[in-house]
Amino acid sequence: MLDKANLLSLMRTVANANPSGTYSYQGESFSYDALNTTLRNELNELVGTEELYQENKNTLFSLIAQTMDEVVPNRLLSSYGSFAEIRTFGQGDKPVFIRRTGRTRAKQFITRVGLAGVYETFKLGAESFEIGTSAIGGAARIGFEEFLDGRVNFAELTQIVTEGMQELIYREIAAALMSSINQLPAANRCAVAGFDEATMDYLVSTASAYGQPTIYCTREFAVKMLPDNDAWVSDNMRDERWNRGYLGNYKGTQVVILPQTLEDETNAKKMIDPGYAWVIPTGADGRPVKVAFEGTTHVRERNDNDDWSRDIQVYRKVGVGVMMTNNIFSYVDTELQGELDNVNPNPNNG
């Protein structure tokens, strides 16, 4: 059985891994499935029986918490790092971000987000600003019989809770961005029914005055980004669209897909509004989205359910804010805007 340090290293490796990749662990190469199997076996040795669980559950909770401390910020960096500043602060420390100064000083504003759904916009008057944090949490229930039968997979439990907290932060980032649009200069925001090539050309051209722009959007938005006239579309572009589903480059401007997620296991509702795209120049003075993690992750067990099941609960303090300036641009496709229903075009109810 691995010691705690190596087990933590293995948990973090699995949690950060891409299921299609091959990974090096302790000098050997493993597939994702092999790593995950190894982790399952190791956790089974740690807490695989009622006696072992009672003896070692605090060690397990510590491992889960330390894994999530690393994994959740890393996944946010992977998805939003190109235009989100993500920082971790100590418990009780004020999550303070330094704002840009200079000729655009008066053009900055902040949309500060409370994870309860309160969005407050204000102009900056100082050289720094604080992002308030709120508690977010996740939980997974383990049936008592599942545990006794050895069908509990703590690796999967960690993944479920991690993804749930990560998706909540994604939604708050999207909500903060959307609530900030009206604070942009009128020249920086466009709302059109469908995709209009001339409109996107205008936004990209204007953003280019500040640096090399990048287009950020959901996959639903990207699949509609096609030229008005396909007479000049190359075979390579057709192949790319068929293989990828969208064009990853718009007239020399990179297209970055923001993660979409679904509300629950029914797959009926999307969490991220697909109607919004952002054009942001690379090298802009400061990334507009600010994410602050305060303190560390906390994990506990609640086992007073009537059916003897256990709830593994996770708690973390997070704050989200958006600092907009006059070099950020938005495109709203009003046909996609608000379309959160995930509609099956050919349901089979038989």
Which tokens go with 157?
């439990």
Single-letter code of the amino acid located at 11: M
What pLDDT was estimated at residue 199? Answer: 96
pLDDT for 64 beyond 50? yes
- 317-344 average pLDDT score: 88
CATH label, 48-333, candidates 3.10.590, 3.30.40, 3.30.70, 3.90.1690: 3.90.1690
- 191-200 average pLDDT score: 96
Domain positions in the chain are 48-333
Please state the length of the chain: 350
pLDDT, tens digit, for every residue of 270-302?
888 999 999 988 755 557 788 889 999 988 887
| CA atoms of 148 and 345, how far apart (whole Å) | 42
Which residues share a beta bridge with 4?
Answer: none
Candidate ranges 49-63, 103-117, 140-154; pick with highest mean pLDDT: 49-63
Q: What is the pTM of this model?
A: 0.73
- 251-260 average pLDDT score: 90
> Residue 39: how many CB atoms within 10 A of its CB?
22
**Which region among 26-35, 140-149, 272-281, 313-322 has the lowest average model confidence (pLDDT)?**
140-149
What pLDDT was estimated at residue 181? Answer: 86
Nearest alpha carbon to residue 167 among 73, 262, 97, 302: 262
Higher-confidence position of 257 and 232? 257
CB 274 within 8 A of CB 260: yes
Higher-confidence position of 94 and 189? 189
> Residue 107: how many CB atoms within 10 A of its CB?
16
**Which residues are CB-contacts of 22 (< 8 A; sequence separation ≥ 6)?**
29, 30, 31, 32
